[in-house]
């Protein structure tokens, strides 16, 4: 059986979706039920991954500096077991993803909106923590045995039951 595949969509594919892909790749690699194949993309990709995302990942032992934002069209023909949007713009810009068996929306504030160095660090750390909590809960589920509808419902419930990150831009 091929690994379970999860796509994270965001507008710029430079912050939230990159953090989620890194977490899914790292935490999903040693999952007892089998590894996760993670990818991320954006509806309007940035020119580079936000340095705040790279820094928060590096501080937690996840090397991510060689990544580049991708456009969602680059992944249109790939099948995914679950597609999660992490910003409202991506949810609205990508209402239908042909390769998605299941969909969920985890709307999170954009840490890239922070402008001062300490605010950037705080915003990315809070977003990392919020995504890690959601991804750990997701990976604890028997994802392979859930129907697509149940996978969508469980992912949505995880988001609804966890606090949003708080930070000021």
Q: What is the CATH number of the domain that holds 106?
A: 3.40.50.2300
Model confidence at 101, pLDDT cuts 50, 70, 90, reads confident
Give the model confidence (pLDDT) of 131-165 as tens digits: 999 999 999 999 999 999 999 999 999 999 999 99
Is a pLDDT exceeding 90 seen at residue 167?
Answer: no
What range defines the domain where residue 49 resides? 4-158
Q: Is there a catalytic annotation at residue 10?
A: yes
Q: At what angle do helices 16-28 and 51-59 cross, to 10 degrees?
A: 30
Q: What is the mean pLDDT of the chain?
A: 92
87 is catalytic: yes
The model's pTM: 0.94
Answer yes or no: is 102 within a domain: yes
Which residue out of 94, 104, 108, 125 is catalytically annotated?
94
Distances from the Cα of 128 to the Cα of 20, 26, 93, 96, 146, angstroms: 8, 13, 24, 27, 26
Classify residue 169: in a domain, yes or no: no
Tally of domains in the chain: 1
Active site includes 94? yes
Catalytic residue, candidates 4, 7, 10, 123: 10
Residues 51-69 have pLDDT tens digits of: 999 999 999 999 998 999 9
Angle at 119 between CA 116 and CA 124, to 5 degrees: 120
**Residue 98, pLDDT score:** 66
């Amino acid at each position: 059986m091929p690994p379970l595949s999860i796509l994270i969509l965001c507008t710029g594919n430079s912050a939230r979706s990159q953090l989620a892909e890194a977490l899914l790749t790292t935490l999903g690699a040693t999952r007892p039920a089998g590894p996760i194949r993670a990818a991320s993309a954006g509806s309007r990709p940035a020119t580079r991954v936000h340095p705040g995302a790279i820094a928060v990942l590096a501080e937690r032992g996840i090397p991510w500096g060689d990544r580049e934002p991708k456009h969602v069209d680059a992944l249109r023909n790939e099948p995914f077991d679950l597609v999660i949007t992490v910003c409202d713009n991506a949810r609205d810009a990508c209402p239908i993803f042909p390769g998605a068996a299941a969909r969920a929306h985890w709307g999170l504030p954009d840490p890239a909106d922070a402008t001062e160095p300490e605010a950037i660090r705080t915003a990315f750390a809070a977003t990392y923590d919020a995504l890690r909590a959601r991804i750990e809960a997701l990976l604890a589920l028997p994802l392979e045995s859930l129907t697509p509808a149940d996978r969508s419902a469980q992912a949505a419930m995880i988001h609804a039951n966890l606090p949003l990150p708080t930070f000021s831009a």
